[in-house]
Amino acid sequence: MTNAIEEQALAEKAGWHTAGEQVPWRQVSLFIGLAYGLSWLWWAPIVLPQLGMVSLVGRLPDLTHNPALARLTLGMFGPMAAAVMMRLVVSREGIKGSLGMLRPWRYYLIAFAVPALFIAVLIGVNQFTGLGRFVWTRSLPIWAAYPLVVFLNSAVGTPLTFGEEYGWRGYLLPRLLPLGEVRATLLLGLIWALWHLPALSIGLNYPGQPFWAALLVFTLNILLLAFPFTWLYTASRESPVVTAVMHATLNAAGDGFTTPTYVPNGNSLVVGGGGLVAAGLMLVIVIMRYTLPKR
């Protein structure tokens, strides 16, 4: 009996949800306010001067080559800073054991291989349908360049995506899971998507596209992408480091190989890593996950 009580206490300290547990809405609300506030305040000097040229039906500006956008990178650590503050001051469980770094190697392999394969399939579908013809002009063959570039860029990007994952998955998701996996994932996905609104409004993801279309397509993609992040997070015994690797790999592959540089005839709202084709593929995966017999 004592061991069972101790195990439950350890589980609760680690943020794991147990049967009958309720969502701590006060903690959830405080965390969301901190995550949004810290990131949005940091992004304000870049975003506010551009808002005058942004309208819901107008086309987004293209600031992708603006040196000031480097400031956006640090804003990605807003969710992590919010989670640390919550753990130390509000929920008081501390940060010990919250990284989830020591996990079996297979989870890291999945975190790298699956998103890289997903984007490769996306490129193939775009090519087959003619929606976005892939053009490769480099001297190194694509079969060698693709895994090399994705690996190197994901290795560089993982510390940055960890700034998000430590907050969204490491802190928020366990507190929402009492709602059930599907509802918790959809709610987190909506929170995650709207957090990107300042960066989205200045054209970071879909430069030159109508704002309303970019907002809808981006939100749809994030809602669907939240599911594999939930699956991997729970399967890896709640490791935000593992999901940070998957996040970085998805960015590296999608942002690296579905841009106009390699898909010059494609519309980013359709064929990009965050486009409608990607959303369609992910929707098929999500439906299969919840309808096919579990093994």
Under 8 Å between Cβ of 243 and 233? yes
pLDDT tens digits for 120-139? Answer: 999 999 999 999 999 998 99
Would you state the structure tokens that stand for residue 125, as one six-digit string? 């579908």
Q: What is the pLDDT of residue 3?
A: 40
Mean pLDDT of 38-65: 83
pLDDT tens digits for 153-165? Answer: 999 999 999 999 9
Under 8 Å between Cβ of 134 and 127? yes
Mean pLDDT of 137-160: 94
* Mean pLDDT over each residue of the chain, to the nearest integer: 89
More confident residue, 170 or 59: 170
Domain ranges of the chain: 21-291
| 8 pLDDT higher than 80 | no
Q: What is the pLDDT of residue 106?
A: 96
- Secondary structure (H, E, C), 5-69: HHHHHHHHHCCCCCCCCCCCHHHHHHHHHHHHHHHHHHHHHHHHHHHHHCCCCCECCCCCCCHHH
| 5 pLDDT higher than 70 | no
Q: What is the pLDDT of residue 9?
A: 39
Unique residue bearing structure tokens 């949800």: 17
In this prediction the pTM is 0.89
Confidence band for 20, pLDDT divided at 50, 70 and 90: low
- SS3 call for 162: helix
**What whole-number percentage of the chain has pLDDT above 90?**
73
| 7 pLDDT higher than 50 | no
